Amino acid sequence: MSLYDKAFINSELSKPTSIFGLRLWVVVGIFVGVIIVLLLFLLSLCITSRRRNSPSNKRKKKFEQTQTLTTAVSKDIQEIFHHDAIAAVDHRLPVPEIQIDLGKSEHRVVFSDRQSSGESRATSIEAPSCGGGSSVPSLPEVSHLGWGRWYTLRELEAATNGLSDENVIGEGGYGIVYSGVLGDDTRVAVKNLLNNRGQAEREFKVEVDAIGRVRHKNLVRLLGYCVEGAYRMLVYEYVDNGNLDQWIHGEVGDVSPLTWAIRMNIILGTAKGLAYLHEGLEPKVVHRDIKSSNILIDRHWNAKVSDFGLAKLLCSESSYVTTRVMGTFGYVAPEYACTGMLNEKSDVYSFGVLIMEIISGRSPVDYARPQGEVNLVEWLKTMVGNRKAEDVVDPKLPEIPSSKALKRILLVALRCVDPDAQKRPKMGHVIHMLEADDLLFHRDDNRSR
């Protein structure tokens, strides 16, 4: 190229253009740079797509997804299942995550059941409409625990008229109890647990585990249960004469139908039921909520201990179990209330308070009474210490017991509520004292005749 040509090219490249007044060689340089950047970007996209489609990368991605899914499932398991060594139950029971929005009249339950794929589904169930259209899979009638029967939700709805308010026979902190009649005309009491996976779930597990296999005439028999969706129901034998609280504190007129003999029979039957729980089972069962409303009465005035929702299992090698203090105010043993250390002597204290309640017709704590009579235990101790034992008897009692029979039963009650738990008798010993008292009562009754 000649010098003339070079000079011509340089002059042309140096001329300003219409693009922001830039010289031509600057515009050409920018254009070339943009083309190079685009080529590099396309090249990087090709390389990245090849790496993603490579077999090794596919295996790595699949492994990471598997690990993520496993982690999610393990978190769900930890969240749903409550590993309580005392209140454990068969691991095969399906326990979905439960959120309950339950009103007494509507009984509407909302729950989410975690699927194996890690996805969740939300379902709204209204109790009366459950059954054929429910998305919950049907469960077998035969119990997986080896006892009782696994009832379906449809069966229990039919038995209780769709969990009707007219069938309600009792309400507690964790459930509503309905009367019902099964298809074979068996009368039952159905307890529908209301709370979510907290206390109600533990209550369900404890009741099933504690009394599922128990057979004793002074304990309410658990016939079976229902585990379907978010529902947890317990099916009991029906006891047809109310509970002790109704007969002592209810409207029964000026003269109570509970004669002295009937009251002694109720006390003895309750003692035998507790003795079986404490000394006839392994592990032993501590009821933890002995009170008059949990003592059911049949048509022959026999006592049946019910409501094992707060029960704890105590192994023979353990002298006590430390747990959160629960029970009913006025019945709870002082050492349990202060330390949370629970054993069968806690039930013995509650039983002693129950005896005082049966004899006197008074509530364990009654703020409507004068200051010195608010606490039943302290008042009765004071009355006995002042030699006024006859004045503690229920004024509605149709007959006055003999002085010896009254003093003996009060002595049993006072020993059961001894502030020192070690000095309280075992329930087996209590039965011996009560049976001796029973014989003494019959002798005095024959003499009076």
Q: Which residues are catalytic?
A: 289
Provide CB contacts within 8 A for 84, sequence distance 6+: 202, 205
CA distance 287 to 274: 8
CA distance 267 to 220: 16
**What dihedral do alpha carbons 321, 199, 292, 337 form, nearest 10°?**
40
Distance CA 172, CA 110 (A): 21
Quick check: 222 and 207 in contact, CB under 8 A?
Answer: yes
Calpha distance 272→430 (Å, rounded):
9
Instruction: Tell me the CB-side half-sphere exposure of residue 302, using CA atoms within 13 A.
Output: 12
Which residues share a beta bridge with 237? 188
**304 has which bridge partners?**
296
Alpha-helical regions (H) of 143-191: 153-159
Report CA 269 to chain centroid distance, whole Å: 27
The token pair at 103 is 């009103």
Are residues 437 and 412 in contact, defined by beta-carbon separation less than 8 angstroms?
yes
* 267 CB-near residues (< 8 Å, 6+ apart): 303, 354, 355, 358, 409, 434
Contacts of 28 (CB under 8 A, 6+ apart): 13
Q: Map residue 30 onto helix, strand or coil.
A: helix
CB 391 within 8 A of CB 383: yes
Residue 429 structure tokens? 């010993």
Is the preceding peptide bond at 137 cis, omega within 30 degrees of 0? no
Q: How far apart are CA 277 and CA 220, in angstroms?
A: 12
CA-CA distances (angstroms) from residue 223 to 202, 214, 216, 237, 424?
19, 10, 13, 6, 34
